[in-house]
């Protein structure tokens, strides 16, 4: 079966763009409304991945355009190094009501990478100011993605996205992946005991590195691109918290994708009874309407910075940008007025249940996630969990193209098995969808997987 004809533009002819890949053909997306987008031929696609897991309130919302226009006409920019601005004060105050107890401040930046970069530096300076000047290492976890700036890469455990760049940054130690589906101690159902055992691996790394050199541990609560919807056994995060306390290591939770309602709680970590030291977020904060990220330290971290004459030794031109803050505030108001976090929980549970139907395909190994942050892991052998033979580019391209043929946008990813193999897709639709929309996603995914099976002989 060949793919439907769609108008595409080669990577070499995209105006003045330096495209991600020159040697590829791009479909041009021209407009969006709700959870649909249209291409230049007016083909409509169901956006089952919210743009890039960020368009959480759907496309084309007039309320957000109005808030942006009003703020840009009033004051588009002022330097946060020199002045305060009202939208940033109002937005961060609103975030403080949305975050768990103890989180009252947000350091507002322009992306998820910057939010994590800021968290890494904040953790380092926190220890420095307290006299623990040797603490600088930030331990990450294998099969995690924290961004593309140097610090964020250094803590990411996603070889496919970093291996060519490795000489450029410190490659900090990594704790093993804590995914139940590929747990070395159980078949995925080991529960608390396995959660604690996996967390104890972090303790051994801290001891090995020397606790006096370790500043922080960073983890996604529910993993995004690096492991599509996977999250550890219960007991894992609770034990991580104990270990961090014991060794004076800050616990950073990367909620760039999971935060702001995506998993059916305000923040993913709230699925467990654990309070981290720093939360980072981005994506859904502004719903894709403007680039924003935020680093939210707990009060006990903030206290160290309160008395510093020269403050936090970090900053960007676009920190606390008024236009972005006004948009972020409007997006949060939009979410709250429609109770989208609860909707994510309820419709996510429905979608998760209906997706079970896809287990009829032998190459579907695991369907997982929380709220509307769901993922599918594909395998060559369901029994042994061995990756597909066509693992990587061929399978993932096929999945994406077949998705477009069936009018649905998927997010193929992988490389989580043995650093290069393994295939996944995220399913992360806007938090505004209802159960009928969820059913449409399942129907379209079913048709997509049937085509993939045909094409690859699965």
Ligand X SMILES: Cc1ncc(COP(=O)(O)O)c(C=O)c1O
Per CB under 6 A, does 145 bind ligand X? yes
Q: Does 111 contact ligand X by CB under 6 A?
A: yes
Nearer to ligand X among residue 426 and residue 458 (C-beta): 426
| 256 is an interface residue for ligand X by CB under 6 A | yes
113 binds ligand X (CB under 6 A): yes
Min dist CB 145 to ligand X, Å, is 5
- Which C-beta is closer to ligand X: that of 155 or that of 449? 155
Pick from 384, 398, 382: nearest CA to 449 = 398
Using the minimum distance from each CB to ligand X, give the nearer residue, 18 or 309. Answer: 18
Nearest approach in angstroms of CB 166 to ligand X is: 18
Question: Residue with the closest Cβ to ligand X?
Answer: 112
Instruction: Give the footprint of ligand X on residues 199-238 (CB under 6 A).
Output: 220, 224-225
CB of 378 to ligand X, least distance (A): 20
CB 260, min distance to ligand X, A: 12
| Candidate ranges 234-242, 253-261, 325-333, 400-408; the one touching ligand X (CB under 6 A) | 253-261
Q: Determine, following the binding rule CB under 6 A, whether residue 366 of this chain makes contact with ligand X.
A: no
The residues with which 140 forms a beta bridge, in sequence order, are 174
Say how far apart CA 289 and CA 335 lie, in whole Å: 14
Which of 35, 59, 142, 146 touches ligand X by CB under 6 A? 146
Which C-beta is closer to ligand X: that of 55 or that of 211? 55
Judged by CB under 6 A, the chain residues 394 through 433 that form the site for ligand X are none
Dihedral sign from CA coordinates of 47, 50, 53, 59:
positive
Which positions from 336 through 365 interact with ligand X, judged by CB under 6 A? none
Q: Which stretch binds ligand X (CB under 6 A): 108-116, 169-177, 179-187, 433-441?
A: 108-116
Q: How big is the CA angle at 414 (ends 411 and 420), to the nearest 5 degrees?
A: 155
Our finding on whether 154 is near ligand X (CB under 6 A) is: no
Give burial (CB, 10 Å; 0-12/13-18/19+) of 181: middle
Please, what is the minimum distance in Å from the beta carbon of residue 160 to ligand X? 13
- Report if residue 369 touches ligand X, rule: CB under 6 A: no
Size of site (CB under 6 A) for ligand X: 14
Residue 265 lies near ligand X (rule: CB under 6 A): no
Q: Which is nearer to ligand X, 155 or 445 (CB)?
A: 155
Q: Does position 107 bind ligand X by CB under 6 A?
A: no
Q: Which is nearer to ligand X, 138 or 379 (CB)?
A: 138
On the CB side of 150, CA atoms within 13 Å amount to 5
Does 139 engage in binding with ligand X (CB under 6 A)? Answer: no
| Contact range with ligand X by CB under 6 A, out of 112-120, 132-140, 269-277, 306-314 | 112-120
Residues forming the site for ligand X (CB under 6 A): 111-113, 116, 145-147, 220, 224-225, 254, 256-257, 282
């Amino acid at each position: 079966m060949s793919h439907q004809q769609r108008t595409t533009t080669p990577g070499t002819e995209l105006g003045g763009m330096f495209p991600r890949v020159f040697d590829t053909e791009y479909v041009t997306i021209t407009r969006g409304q709700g959870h649909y987008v249209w291409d230049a031929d007016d083909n409509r696609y169901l956006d089952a991945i919210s743009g890039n897991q960020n368009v959480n309130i759907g496309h084309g919302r007039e309320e957000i355009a109005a808030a942006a226009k009003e703020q840009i006409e009033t004051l588009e920019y002022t330097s946060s190094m020199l002045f305060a601005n009202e939208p940033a004060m109002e937005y961060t105050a609103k975030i403080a009501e949305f975050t768990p107890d103890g989180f009252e401040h947000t350091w507002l930046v322009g992306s998820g990478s910057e939010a994590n970069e800021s968290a890494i530096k904040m953790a380092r300076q926190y220890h420095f100011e307290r006299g623990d000047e040797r603490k600088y290492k930030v331990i990450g976890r294998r099969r995690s993605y924290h961004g593309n700036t140097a610090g964020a890469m250094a803590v990411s455990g996603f070889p496919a996205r970093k291996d060519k760049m490795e000489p450029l940054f410190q490659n900090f130690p990594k704790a093993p992946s804590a995914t139940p589906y590929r747990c070395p101690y159980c078949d995925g159902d080991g529960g608390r005991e396995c959660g604690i055992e996996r967390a104890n691996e972090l303790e051994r790394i801290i001891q090995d590195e020397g606790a006096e050199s370790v500043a922080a541990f960073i983890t996604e609560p529910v993993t995004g691109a690096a492991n599509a919807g996977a999250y550890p056994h219960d007991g894992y995060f609770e034990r991580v918290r104990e270990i961090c306390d014991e060794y004076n290591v800050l616990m950073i939770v990367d909620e760039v994708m999971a935060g702001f309602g995506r998993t059916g709680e305000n923040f993913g970590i709230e699925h467990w009874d654990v309070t981290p030291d720093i939360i980072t977020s981005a994506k859904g904060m502004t719903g894709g309407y403007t680039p924003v990220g935020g680093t939210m330290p707990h009060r006990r971290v903030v206290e160290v910075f309160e008395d510093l004459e020269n403050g936090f030794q970090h900053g960007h031109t676009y920190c606390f940008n008024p236009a972005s803050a006004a948009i972020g505030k409007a997006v949060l108001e939009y979410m709250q007025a429609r109770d989208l976090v609860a909707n994510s929980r309820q419709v996510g549970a429905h979608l998760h249940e209906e997706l079970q139907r896809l287990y009829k395909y032998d190459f579907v190994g695991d369907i997982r996630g929380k709220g509307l942050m769901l993922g599918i892991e594909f395998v060559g052998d369901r029994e042994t969990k061995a990756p597909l033979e066509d693992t990587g580019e061929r399978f993932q391209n096929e999945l994406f193209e077949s998705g477009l043929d069936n009018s649905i946008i998927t997010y193929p990813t992988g490389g989580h098995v043995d650093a290069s193999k393994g295939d996944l897709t995220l399913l992360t639709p806007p938090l505004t969808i209802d159960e009928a929309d969820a059913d449409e996603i399942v129907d379209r995914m079913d048709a997509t997987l049937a085509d993939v099976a045909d094409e690859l002989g699965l």
